[in-house]
Amino acid sequence: MFSDRDEFKEEFLKKLEMTCGKSFGESTERDHYFTLGNMIREHVSTEWINTNERYRIDREKQVYYLSIEFLLGRLLHHNLMNLGIEQVVKDGLADLGIDLNRLEEIEADAGLGNGGLGRLAACFMDSLASLNLPGHGCGIRYKHGLFEQKIVDGYQVELPEQWLRNGHVWEVRKADLAIEVPFWGKVETTEENGRLVFRHVNAETISAVPYDMPVVGYKTDTINTLRLWNAEPSPYPVNHDILKYKRDTESVSEFLYPDDTHDEGKILRLKQQYFLVSASIRSIVRSYRKQHSSLRNFHEYVSIHINDTHPVLAIPELMRILLDEEEMGWEEAWNITVHTIAYTNHTTLSEALEKWPVRIFQPLLPRIYMIVNEINERFCRVLWERYPGDWKRIEDMAIIAHDQVKMAHLALVGSLSVNGVAALHTEILKNREMNQFYEIFPDKFNNKTNGITHRRWLLKANPLLSDLINESIGAGWIREPEKLRELADFKNDRVFLDQLHQIKQLNKEKLAKRIQEQHGIIADTSSIFDIQVKRLHAYKRQLLNILHVMHLYNRLKEDSNFRMHPRTFIFGAKASPGYYYAKKIIKLINTVAEKVNYDPQTRDVLKVIFLENYRVSLAEEIFPAADISEQISTASKEASGTGNMKFMMNGALTVGTLDGANIEIKEKAGDGNIFIFGLTADEVLSFYQNGGYNSREYYHHDKRIRQVVDQLVNGFFPDADDEFEPIFDSLLMENDQYFVLRDFASYINIQKEAGKAYEDREHWLKMSLMNIAGSGYFSSDRTISEYAREIWKIRPAGVEMMNK
Ligand code: 26W
């Protein structure tokens, strides 16, 4: 690469003229950004080719991670850091009067995901490459990522996101590797030489064109590939209305999760899923065939991971190739398929478990449907032998039942491994949600607690803290994050703790500056920054948080002796466009903000800020500035959570329920270094099973609760009319499905405790330090090593690591 800044500068200026056709004097910041991006990508390409070459020659086993979401965020800084050229580039640009930070801000977030599941996929890409593991991503190149959120008059407004507006420097279009994906039409069955032959005829095909992105590992030569498929009109259309065909085709990779409340949306979703799966599997098979004469040992060289059920059609698609193209018998094809596919479950919420009506599935994917049907029949036969006469059980477990294809059941039957994403979640899958499957496939089930890449979420996002860590324990933690443990030695070191405090303050100031610029609100950096950022969902209980704010407001107004450490409550969340209730909560948060932020009696102690358009790049500024991390989901509902880990790694203390990975965070941070409250998962599940919860009792018996709940509808918010009636109703008329009122008192208490604890600065800093020290376990390097060893059986390629 560039050995020094002068060499870099020379190349940069040359490249600038070539790519932008302008002299340096005429060029803009955007030109600089594109020049730099292109330069880096080109430099990477040699190693990228070498990596692929090495994988081909070594014939080592590869893993492909199929995901309908990749929430990548920005890549410039990340790539510079991983290539180890950040400093040279920064200095070289500075000589030219260019500020690297400003160039980084120009890059649009690649926001091809909704939340945790998509961000997890992105963190996994980084860990795979950084650990020199042969692992690649396969996804969809959505033209529009998750919508851009504007808050207008307190309401969420969605604008189409435009990340490709100015092109994307990291992608390489590979038009010659396009794959034709067939839909509709019908299957002709004939007999040839004593075997049944299936032909999919009259299909409408869509071209899947790959766009490849290099995935640069941290200071290593390994560069893996993230392949995103773009939907384009096929060169051989059968449809005569060309314009309609073009529109229909392109819509397949236009939006992430199109609205699926109507059949048309459902068809599009299913189309997207098969589009991703078919293109990916066939390109995997195509490259496999270059090295191997048959697919007989496919599973020994390839592992395919499905991120939730969205790509579960990988199972019948691989079967189709083995049966129809390789002409294998069912048993052999099935054996290979089951040994290739592994599945991760990310939720137990029944509304998120995918089911497709047969009336949609069968005509859209006729051959795939036949195969799913055959898988189902064979599975039901096995069940019948094992549980003769138990119709109810067979009906419950079938893949196809009541005109529905149950995608999770297909995944459970067709993969060799099924994992949950935190210890509690896996136990709930085994003992409850998927218990009947656990009974017949006990060996498939395993846990892989989620992780996050500490390189983006600590090293990059929090440079001040990273420097302090490097100075105190050395830089070994960057490759071996568990070494963060050594920080515990400093827990009685006053000077160190003071530095920790200074850093937190600086990070808070930076966030406060952004808040002031963007929202015109002044956040007091000596107040506690209490933050909840995540998708907006009833089970995550942003409502509990904001009702608590209302309660504090009431206390301040009514009791002049009431004292609390000043707090700034910060929210960031997008609500799914069709999720009416979630949007009401956003409006409520903004309405409370209006009230408390401008009341002279409270504004110095209480501030509420709703940050617009929460996304990866904004998240990188938020986590380092947090004092308190809100992880308050109804126990049993949050499969894992990963934001909780990002907060912990940046020294925030968790206020949380015993849910998802919070339980493991508590173990790693130590019982005294976390604030736990509320019902346990067992208690919640037992209420669901046996009843016994009546939210109105809590309303009637606790006047603090009665007061805030009444305030939703009694004119307390002067312009609200009946705006918040649906929230009121959910709490009292629908018996508060998420136990907000049940956990309210316990939440008030723990928050009070946390507020008090903050006032003992030294003790607080110690607790904060113990969180950072315990966070190494939550590096996705640990998670990925476990997947690699226990599920995928892949090994690191032997390459030189840079000694930087
Ligand atoms: C029906 C389609 C659908 C698709 C995606 C429903 C819901 C989703 C979510 C966005 C899935 C998701 O992000 N789940 C989260 O996955 C994280 C990574 O494992 C977990 O940490 C979170 O607990 C889980 O909610």
Model-wide pTM > 0.95: yes
Count CA within 13 A, CB hemisphere, residue 133: 28
pLDDT digits (tens, 9 = 90+) for 20-39: 999 999 999 999 999 999 99
Q: Whose CA is nearest to atom 1 of ligand 1?
A: 352
Distance 477 CA to ligand 1 centre (A): 29
Does ligand 1 lie within 6 Å of residue 238's CB atom? no
Q: 313 CA distance to ligand 1 centroid (A)?
A: 19
pLDDT given at position 235: 83
Q: So what's the pLDDT on residue 363?
A: 98
Rounded Cα–Cα distance for residues 242 and 531 (Å): 51
Ligand 1 near 639 CB (within 6 A): yes
pLDDT, mean of residues 191-207: 95
* Residue 497 clears pLDDT 50, i.e. is over it: yes
Helices 494-519 + 761-774 axis angle, to 10: 90
Q: What is the CA(346)–ligand 1 centre distance, in A?
A: 6
Q: Which of 659, 691, 619, 663 is nearest to 777 (CA)?
A: 663
For 327, the 3-state DSSP assignment is: coil
CA of 123 to the centre of ligand 1 (A): 15
Q: What is the pLDDT of residue 259?
A: 67
Give the separation between CA 120 and CA 128, rounded to whole angstroms. 12
User: Does the C-beta of 660 come closer than 6 Å to ligand 1?
Assistant: yes
Q: Which of 346, 353, 425, 664 to mutate to test the pocket of ligand 1 (most atoms within 8 A of CB)?
A: 346
Give the pLDDT band of residue 239 (cuts 50, 70, 90): low
C-beta 272 within 6 A of ligand 1: no
Mean pLDDT along residues 417-446: 97
User: Residue 352 CA: which ligand 1 atom is closest?
Assistant: 1
Q: Is 256 in the pocket of ligand 1 (CB under 6 A)?
A: no
Atom of ligand 1 nearest to the CA of 642: 21
The Cα 79–Cα 75 span in angstroms is: 6
Predicted confidence at residue 801, as pLDDT, reads: 54
Active site residue 642: yes
Q: Is 534 known to be catalytic?
A: yes
pLDDT at 537 over 50: yes
Q: What is the structure's pLDDT at 349? A: 84
Give the distance (Å) from ligand 1 centre to CA of residue 156.
21
In the residue annotation, 795 being an active-site residue is answered as no
- For atom 12 of ligand 1, which residue has the closest CA? 117
- Shortest-distance Cα residue to atom 6 of ligand 1: 352
pLDDT digits (tens, 9 = 90+) for 339-382: 999 999 999 887 778 999 999 999 999 999 999 999 999 999 99
The two three-digit tokens of residue 770, written as one number: 């113990």
Task: Indicate which residue of 347, 642, 654, 657 is catalytic.
Answer: 642
Averaged pLDDT for residues 548-574: 98
Write the pLDDT tens digit of every residue in 286-301. 999 999 999 999 999 9
Q: Is the pLDDT of residue 87 over 70?
A: yes
Cα-Cα end-to-end distance for the chain = 13
Q: Are strands 179-183 and 528-533 parallel, antiparallel or unpaired?
A: unpaired
Q: Give the torsion sign (CA, 211, 216, 220, 224).
A: negative
Q: State the pLDDT at residue 428.
A: 97
Query: Is the pLDDT confidence value at 442 over 70?
Result: yes
pLDDT the model gives residue 565: 98
**pLDDT grade for 800, boundaries at 50, 70 and 90:** low
What is the residue type of 555?
A: R
Average the pLDDT over 186-198 and give the result. Answer: 95
Is residue 15 part of the annotated active site? The answer reads no
Q: Which of 67, 71, 117, 255 to mutate to test the pocket of ligand 1 (most atoms within 8 A of CB)?
A: 117
pLDDT in tens, 251-283: 999 999 866 667 778 899 999 999 999 999 999
Residue owning the nearest CA to atom 16 of ligand 1: 117
Output the average pLDDT for the chain: 96
Tokens 């002031």 -> residue: 516
| Domains of the chain, start order | 1-58+75-108 (no CATH), 59-74+109-323+330-444+787-792 (3.40.50.2000), 455-679+742-778 (3.40.50.2000)
Say if CB 452 and CB 623 are below 8 A apart.
no
Query: Over 60: is that where the pLDDT of 802 sits?
Result: no
